[in-house]
């Protein structure tokens, strides 16, 4: 019986081989039936190939929640394509290239097509393999259009790009003017954590047989936080619009202890692996606004993230080139602190809680990423590439195109100010205002010296002092640098800063 089926399989493959003229390669961040090479798929003559490469799961300390999400989404996507009558090969191989070789060994030496890859590395690899590219339309801005914008600018200020995007895409613009009377409602947003506030329930996603098989392969018990199908991703979008959109703006920068998601959309994993298209996410938001279900400051805030920040970061990744990832403009050489890989390796309540959240579900929102994790790396002088590597491994939504600019440019200011005009350095006062961690912490955000001094407060001043020569020339930083002169205890602070860095390096602070 088994042998007869084997022969049939061989025969079937031979027939398919004769009919197939193109290999359409789908990387795990292009899981969208209506985008990239799948847009003009001919089911009679094309075979779709996905490669689950061993390199993807091994070699680095990847968060298993992340691997689970990426692999299970890809396996579901392959099954959905098959169920709709499309010829699909889901190949497990050592590397992507080995997988494509396998596809060619089955179907012959056919041309391979793929959407423009999302990192320099895979771009180079696939180009060398002879792959032909079509536009990566999972972004709203073509690379050449972003380059044209960037080349026309003296400085690459996101706000300018965002306003141009609003006009170009005709989103929340009336007669060339911003809807609601302003381009930006930051003054109404960015509120501290609310008191006695009831956050909506989290949306949980059920697991099916494919999920369970992936979990078994990874020897991991996944959360139910992340969907692994398009249906689940759409449910997340709908849930966000219904329960979170209206409250998104005011509390987008707040961090609370009793809710890890607040009003954030939790859409980045799906926008980044293709299960959601940014255009459909923005349309859903705008529709809700037009129906009067959400206020302008929230709608503008989320639109800014998707058509502004996300597109800007991707554009800058390609514009700034491959070498940008290796920048270390502040010559930061401290090895990665143990607290990043182990939430109990610190007594700092904010850092420990945020790292624990990442251990639990591979995600925290932008303020913990920027003002707690990156801020700590920045002011301790942690090596940017070591920090970047950790961030890449730890987050559910990480890819080169998005992590490199966010970390190197925005997070740790390693690019000398190409992307951001000033570093996002802050002491305990900011964290105390915007989060609820300080009340339960052994350290005091107001103190900069002494055993109870908040490490952020101490290190913030130490950081400014270490880089005062560079920063005093920056008009957005000079006030802060002059503030150093008012410190009567700078010598004592420098001693404490050195103790803090040694203690953090040993996991004892």
Ligand X SMILES: Cc1cc2nc3c(=O)[nH]c(=O)nc-3n(C[C@H](O)[C@H](O)[C@H](O)COP(=O)(O)OP(=O)(O)OC[C@H]3O[C@@H](n4cnc5c(N)ncnc54)[C@H](O)[C@@H]3O)c2cc1C
Closest of 414, 389, 408, 418 to residue 467, by C-alpha: 414
Show contacts with ligand SF4 in window 430-449 (CB under 6 A).
431-432, 437-438, 441, 443, 445
Show contacts with ligand SF4 in window 334-353 (CB under 6 A).
348-350
The pairing of strands 132-134 and 112-115 is parallel
Residue 327 binding: pick among ligand SF4, ligand X, none (C-beta 5-8 Å cut-off by kind): none
CB of 118 to ligand X, least distance (A): 11
Residue 381 binding: pick among ligand SF4, ligand X, none (C-beta 5-8 Å cut-off by kind): none
Contact by Cβ (8 Å): 332, 381:
yes
Residue 454 binding: pick among ligand SF4, ligand X, none (C-beta 5-8 Å cut-off by kind): ligand SF4
Query: By CB under 6 A, which span of 165-173, 302-310, 322-330, 453-461 interacts with ligand SF4?
Result: 453-461
Contact by Cβ (8 Å): 406, 313:
yes
The owner of tokens 């002059």 is 482
Cα separation values, 170 from 117, 126, 174, 249, 377, Å: 28, 35, 8, 21, 39
CB of 482 to ligand SF4, least distance (A): 24
Residue 411 binding: pick among ligand SF4, ligand X, none (C-beta 5-8 Å cut-off by kind): ligand X
- Structure tokens given for 360: 């639990």
CB atoms closer than 10 angstroms to residue 16? 14
CB of 343 to ligand X, least distance (A): 18
Residue 349 binding: pick among ligand SF4, ligand X, none (C-beta 5-8 Å cut-off by kind): ligand SF4
Contact by Cβ (8 Å): 389, 412:
no
CB of 271 to ligand X, least distance (A): 4
CB of 506 to ligand X, least distance (A): 25
- Using the minimum distance from each CB to ligand SF4, give the nearer residue, 8 or 439: 439
- Using the minimum distance from each CB to ligand X, give the nearer residue, 210 or 391: 391
Q: How far is CA 458 from the centre of its chain?
A: 29
Q: How far is CA 166 from the centre of its chain?
A: 22
User: How many CA atoms does the CB half-sphere of 105 hold within 13 Å?
Assistant: 7
Residue 501 binding: pick among ligand X, ligand SF4, none (C-beta 5-8 Å cut-off by kind): none
Helix (H, G, I), strand (E, B) or coil at 271: helix
Residue 431 binding: pick among ligand SF4, ligand X, none (C-beta 5-8 Å cut-off by kind): ligand SF4
- Structure tokens given for 437: 């961690």
- Using the minimum distance from each CB to ligand SF4, give the nearer residue, 319 or 437: 437
CB of 428 to ligand SF4, least distance (A): 4
The owner of tokens 């006695």 is 196
- Using the minimum distance from each CB to ligand SF4, give the nearer residue, 31 or 339: 339
Which residues is 53 bridged to in the sheet? 93
Q: CA gyration radius for the chain?
A: 24
Helix (H, G, I), strand (E, B) or coil at 380: helix
Q: How far is CA 402 from the centre of its chain?
A: 6
**Number of residues forming the site for ligand SF4 (CB under 6 A):** 14
Contact between 357 and ligand SF4 per CB under 6 A = no
CB of 413 to ligand SF4, least distance (A): 20
State the DSSP string of 294-343.
Answer: S-HHHHHHHHIIIIIIIHHHHHHHHHH-GGGGG--TT---BPPPGGGT-T
CB of 458 to ligand X, least distance (A): 22
Calpha distance 413→329 (Å, rounded): 7
- Using the minimum distance from each CB to ligand X, give the nearer residue, 345 or 402: 402
Residue 25 binding: pick among ligand SF4, ligand X, none (C-beta 5-8 Å cut-off by kind): none
- Using the minimum distance from each CB to ligand X, give the nearer residue, 114 or 403: 403
Backbone dihedral region for residue 321 (phi beyond 0: left; psi -120 to 50: alpha; all else: beta): left
Show contacts with ligand SF4 in window 77-116 (CB under 6 A).
none
Contact between 455 and ligand SF4 per CB under 6 A = yes
Applying CB under 6 A, the residues found at the interface with ligand SF4 are 348-350, 428, 431-432, 437-438, 441, 443, 445, 454-456
């Amino acid at each position: 019986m088994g042998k007869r089926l084997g022969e049939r399989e061989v025969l079937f493959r031979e027939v398919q081989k004769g009919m197939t003229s193109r290999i359409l390669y789908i990387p795990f961040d292009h899981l969208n039936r209506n985008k990239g090479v799948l847009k003009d798929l001919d089911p009679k003559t094309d075979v779709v190939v996905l490669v689950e490469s061993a390199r993807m799961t091994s070699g680095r300390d990847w968060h298993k929640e992340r691997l689970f999400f990426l692999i299970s989404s890809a396996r579901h996507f392959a099954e959905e394509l098959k169920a709709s009558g499309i010829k699909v090969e889901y190949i497990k191989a050592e590397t992507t290239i080995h997988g494509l070789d396998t596809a060619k060994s089955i179907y012959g030496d056919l041309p391979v097509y793929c959407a423009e890859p999302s990192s320099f590395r895979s771009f180079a690899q696939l180009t060398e393999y002879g792959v032909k590219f079509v536009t990566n339309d999972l972004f709203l801005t073509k690379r050449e259009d972003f380059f044209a914008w960037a080349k026309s600018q003296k400085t690459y200020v996101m706000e300018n790009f965002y306003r141009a995007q609003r006009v170009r895409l005709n989103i929340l613009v009336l007669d060339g003017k911003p809807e609601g009377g302003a381009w930006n409602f930051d003054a109404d947003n960015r509120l501290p954590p609310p008191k006695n506030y009831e956050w909506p329930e989290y949306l949980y996603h059920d697991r099916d047989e494919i999920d369970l098989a992936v979990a078994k392969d990874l020897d991991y018990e996944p959360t139910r936080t992340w969907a692994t199908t398009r249906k689940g991703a759409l449910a997340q979008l709908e849930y966000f619009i219904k329960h979170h959109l209206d409250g998104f703006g005011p509390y987008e920068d707040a961090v609370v202890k009793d809710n890890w998601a607040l009003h954030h959309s939790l859409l980045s994993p799906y926008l980044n692996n293709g299960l959601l298209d940014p255009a459909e996410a923005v349309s859903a938001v705008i529709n809700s606004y037009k129906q009067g279900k959400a206020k302008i400051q929230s709608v503008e805030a989320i639109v800014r993230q998707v058509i502004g920040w996300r597109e800007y970061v991707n554009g800058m990744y390609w514009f700034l080139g491959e070498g940008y990832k290796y920048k270390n403009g502040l010559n930061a050489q401290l090895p990665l602190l143990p607290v990043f890989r182990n939430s109990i390796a610190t007594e700092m309540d904010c850092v420990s809680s945020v790292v624990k959240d990442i251990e639990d579900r591979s995600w925290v929102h932008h303020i913990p990423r920027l003002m707690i994790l990156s801020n700590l790396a920045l002011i301790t002088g942690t090596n940017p590439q070591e920090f970047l590597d950790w961030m890449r491994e730890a987050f559910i939504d990480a890819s080169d195109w998005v992590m490199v600019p966010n970390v190197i440019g925005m997070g740790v200011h390693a690019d000398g100010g190409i992307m951001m005009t000033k570093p996002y350095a802050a002491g305990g006062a900011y964290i105390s205002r915007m989060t609820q961690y300080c009340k339960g912490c052994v350290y005091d955000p107001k103190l900069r010296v002494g055993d109870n001094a908040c490490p952020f407060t101490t290190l913030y001043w130490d950081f400014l002092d270490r880089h005062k020569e560079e920063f005093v020339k920056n008009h957005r930083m000079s006030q802060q640098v002059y503030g150093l002169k008012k410190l009567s205890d700078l010598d004592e602070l420098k001693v404490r800063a050195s103790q803090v860095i040694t203690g953090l390096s040993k996991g004892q602070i």
